[in-house]
Amino acid sequence: MRKTIRKLLFLFIILSVVWPFYIDIRLSTTVGINPQRLILIILFLFEAIGGRFKGLNKLNKMWLFVFSLYIFYRLFVGIYYKSSLSIVLSANEILTLYLLSILCAKYLTFADIYRIGRIFYFTAFYLLAIVVLEFVTKRNVFAGINSGIGKAAQGAAITLVREGFDRVKGTFENSLTLMQYLLFSYPLIHLYIKRVASGKRFKNIAVTFAYAIMMAMTLSRFGIALFALEILVIVFFSFRSRLVRVSMVTIGILSIVPFYLVLSSSVFDEKIQLGTGNAGTLLSSDQRVAQLVAAGAVFVKHPFIGFGLGSAGDTLYEESQQNNTSYVIYDNSVDDRFVSILVESGIFPCILFFLIFVMSIRKSFMFVRSTEQKMISMIILVIFASLFILSIFTLYPLIFILLSLVNKRRNIRVQETLYLDNLTH
């Protein structure tokens, strides 16, 4: 049973990368079954029959308490509003975040972080092929086979453009989701490569080149800046060889810069004016400013219960349209996860979600001993930063798998660290 559950967990991780979650069998406009959710349901049934969710006692009690408060407060909001979408979204969080975290804490060890990095390494070039094909053909290869009913599927069918250049999505529904995945997976791939017997230099340079190309094609300024920071941290804390350091930094720069040199005329000609730019322009930030202004206005109306899960985009859009200000929201999307939680379910879940990551960052520094392994702290910090520009929760299952492994109880972490030391020497 244990081996079967572990295999299913790794299969879930693989499918989360190679197969778009929005391609599913639609049961209704709000409910769909895809391969990833099907695996989670099977895992839930296995554990309900035989395991009885004993993984709860493997997680740090305080982190689990905060996490549980967040999950079940959101469930309360979903039930309170009696909205099918709100209830489905809260149930989805219980399945894809809460129960998945418990299962990972029970059946995976810290050493499995390196195995996850191995999965990301072998799927990196598959993802690169999908991204390059999309960039060249100006069409996502999965666009023709999605169901087209769900909001994510509809969003995936739309080609985002920045200054005349298409922003690629790969196997995800949005270019920023791809950006977040690249930031999340790149350091984990590096951790895996550090453990391989040979070809470390070539593999690091190849992955850095592939990831730099994909990151550049997302045309995300925030993503490119953080990716450059990741490269610098990894290079200068993990490699003693000057040749490897120079090679990785050079490859990263030469892969990204040409794309932005093409855009340079737009960069120098455009004025940065918050609240007055056009939607989609290269340097405009007015949408995020407008969302913050609207969020402040609607928060005072329902500060503790919000407007229901899944309602943030529509609520902020309606507020913007009703109040004629210079900060105009052009559509019903939300760019900030904390703003989304605040509007949907009030101030308490927003604070709890913030604490989930702050506590995880603290634990990650306490958990590991080597400078190399402290890159896990960098991953959580980078993902935490990305939450302020991206509200889409596609990658949350993968993120919370990492958080659950970091937030295991101290005695269990010590045992797994000793196991890891034996494994890697």
pLDDT in tens, 183-212: 999 999 998 988 876 788 889 889 999 999
Q: In the structure encoding, which two tokens stand for residue 416, read together? A: 């797994």
pLDDT at 270: 40
Distance separating alpha carbons of residues 355 and 349, to the nearest angstrom: 10
Write out pLDDT tens, residues 90-107: 988 998 999 999 999 889
Mean pLDDT of 120-129: 96
pLDDT at 279: 43
Give residue 77's pLDDT band: very low, low, confident or very high (50, 70, 90): very high
Report the range out of 32-36, 147-151, 371-375 with the highest average pLDDT.
Answer: 32-36
Beta bridge partners of 122: none
Query: pTM for the full model?
Result: 0.85
Whether 259 shows a pLDDT value over 70: the answer reads no
pLDDT at 23: 82
Whether 154 shows a pLDDT value over 60: the answer reads no
Distance separating alpha carbons of residues 408 and 58, to the nearest angstrom: 6
pLDDT at 28: 67
Q: Please say whether the dihedral angle defined by the alpha carbons of residues 246, 249, 251 and 253, taken in this order, is positive or negative.
A: negative
Q: Which of 192-206, 273-287, 305-319, 337-351 has the lowest mean pLDDT?
A: 273-287
Whether 425 shows a pLDDT value over 90: the answer reads no
Give residue 284's pLDDT band: very low, low, confident or very high (50, 70, 90): very low
Distance separating alpha carbons of residues 190 and 196, to the nearest angstrom: 10
Q: Which amino acid is at 199?
A: G
What percent of the chain is predicted at pLDDT more than 90? 34
Beta bridge partners of 165: 162
Mean pLDDT of 63-76: 95
For residues 337 and 388, the answer to whether their CB atoms sit within 8 Å is: yes
For residues 256 and 219, the answer to whether their CB atoms sit within 8 Å is: no
pLDDT at 251: 57
What percent of the chain is predicted at pLDDT more than 70? 73
Please give the sequence-ordered ranges of beta strands (E in DSSP) within 42-102, or none if there are none: none
pLDDT at 229: 84
pLDDT at 260: 47
Domain spans of the chain, in order of start: 2-267+346-423, 270-333
Q: Which of 55-64, 132-141, 209-218, 237-246 has the lowest mean pLDDT?
A: 237-246
Whether 29 shows a pLDDT value over 80: the answer reads no
pLDDT at 269: 40
Whether 291 shows a pLDDT value over 80: the answer reads yes
Whether 415 shows a pLDDT value over 80: the answer reads no
Give residue 54's pLDDT band: very low, low, confident or very high (50, 70, 90): low
Whether 58 shows a pLDDT value over 60: the answer reads yes
* Local structure of 321: helix, strand or coil: helix
pLDDT at 246: 58
Helices 396-406/100-107 angle, 10° precision: 40
Give residue 274's pLDDT band: very low, low, confident or very high (50, 70, 90): very low
Q: How many CB atoms lie within 10 A of CB 191?
A: 22
Which of these, 411, 22, 390, lies nearest to 184 by C-alpha position?
390
Mean pLDDT of the chain: 79
Whether 50 shows a pLDDT value over 60: the answer reads yes
Q: In the structure encoding, which two tokens stand for residue 39, read together? A: 């695996």
